[in-house]
Amino acid sequence: MKTLNSLKHRNYRLLWIGTLVSQSGDWMDQVALNWLILVMTNSPFYLGLLNLFRALPMLVLTLMAGVLVDRMERRRLLMITQTAAMALAFVLAVLVSSGLVQVWHIFLIGTLRGAIMSFNMPARQTLISDLVPRSDLANAIAINSATMNITRILGPALAGVLIASMGVSVPFYLNGFSFLAVLYTLHAMALPEKKGDRHRAAMWQDLVEGLTYIRGNATILALVVVAVVPMFLGQPYMAMLTVFAKDVLGIGAVGLGLLTSASAGGSVAGAMALASLGDFRRKGALMMGAMFGFGAMLLLFSISPWPVASIMLVTLVGAMGTMYNSSNNTILQLSSPDNLRGRLMSVLFLNRALVPLGTAMAGALAAVVGAPWAMGSMATLVIVLAVAIRMAAPSLSEVE
């Protein structure tokens, strides 16, 4: 089956299995952690502060993490990060189940998890290119994206059931055990001996080398801009769905669940549609078209007063966002020298750390002009950026 073509490779199949299990556990954990801090403090401010503590280490450490990814054997680095994350999960589970947990514990663990994610994200993504041939890389990245979005549906749903029926500590324990799956699959991979690029230069010099390469390569620089800026401007819509459900569409908590599920479902559909294309041509053209579509669908969602239309539009927002992100990821990996891939991918993953900052900006704008105008303005900037890049760097659309 062409859509699942990359799963025929044993090593990638093992990574996929581990990702499905561990990421579902991670989403369970995130939902439970947000619930825990809200129950303990009864303060949305503390909830926002927790997510800020998660994001700041990624903003600070991700670039240096890319240097380490290029220096170390990627599977080994992943095993280290997953072991550390497992230890944190069990520490939190014990603290909660014993009744000893305090707010500062949650903030510290959230910060440490953000630090671990800084290293985990570029290591996991660059490992994919080591597990499949070049012809299957686009399919593998799309399937990985679909899997991540499937876990975004499964994990929170399971967490809600577990918290209500068995208590908030159970998702933390299950998350800890879920890491055993990814550790086993990483260990089971049959990879040729491949050492990381052990540079003699200092780490900061390696970092400068990566940034200099980006600045001197117009295509890579454009890909980084496409990866980072639209996520900062557009991805905050996920957090703003609460405001749209409550104040704009008037559909309450049930409607919020429908909007969130529709977005996740659209993301899965977009990823699987991309996976079905295999090693398609004109990847750059599809990426730019999907980026424009992401902004356009988000703009239409922002101004829609009709719940049914809004659910359909947010589905398309999820699909377009995933298609442009996965295409961007594929092109960047195919365009990157192997000895620089970790550093280049780490710049791409700065977008994860910038989303909370974009969310803060969207929230501030919404407080002044209302949610529709706030998200509509940011969506318009995504559209303008897509047109500007298409005009300034037309060669990007020709990338195969």
- pLDDT confidence bin for 379, thresholds 50/70/90: very high
The CA distance from 113 to 121, in Å, is 12
Residues 229 and 351 in one domain: yes
Identify the CATH number of the domain in which residue 346 sits. 1.20.1250.20
Residues 145 and 276 in one domain: no
| Percent of the chain clearing pLDDT 70 (strictly above) | 92
Residues 36 and 90 in one domain: yes
Q: Which of 26, 153, 24 is nearest to 85 (CA)?
A: 26
Residues 62 and 173 in one domain: yes
Residues 183 and 219 in one domain: no
* pLDDT tens-digit map of 293-333: 999 999 999 999 899 999 999 999 999 988 888 888 888 87
- pLDDT confidence bin for 400, thresholds 50/70/90: low
- Say if 195 falls within a structural domain: no
What pTM was estimated for this model as a whole?
Answer: 0.75
373: how many CB neighbours lie within 10 A of its CB? 14
- pLDDT confidence bin for 44, thresholds 50/70/90: low
- Say if 17 falls within a structural domain: yes
Into how many domains does the chain fold? 2
Residues 29 and 169 in one domain: yes
**Domain boundary residue among 157, 187, 217?**
187
Residue 259, pLDDT > 50, answer yes
The overall average pLDDT reported for the chain is 82
Residues 152 and 290 in one domain: no
Mean of pLDDT values over 354-374: 80
Per-residue model confidence (pLDDT) at position 317? 94
Domain span at 305 = 202-395
Residue 204 burial (C-beta neighbours within 10 Å; 0-12, 13-18, 19+)? exposed
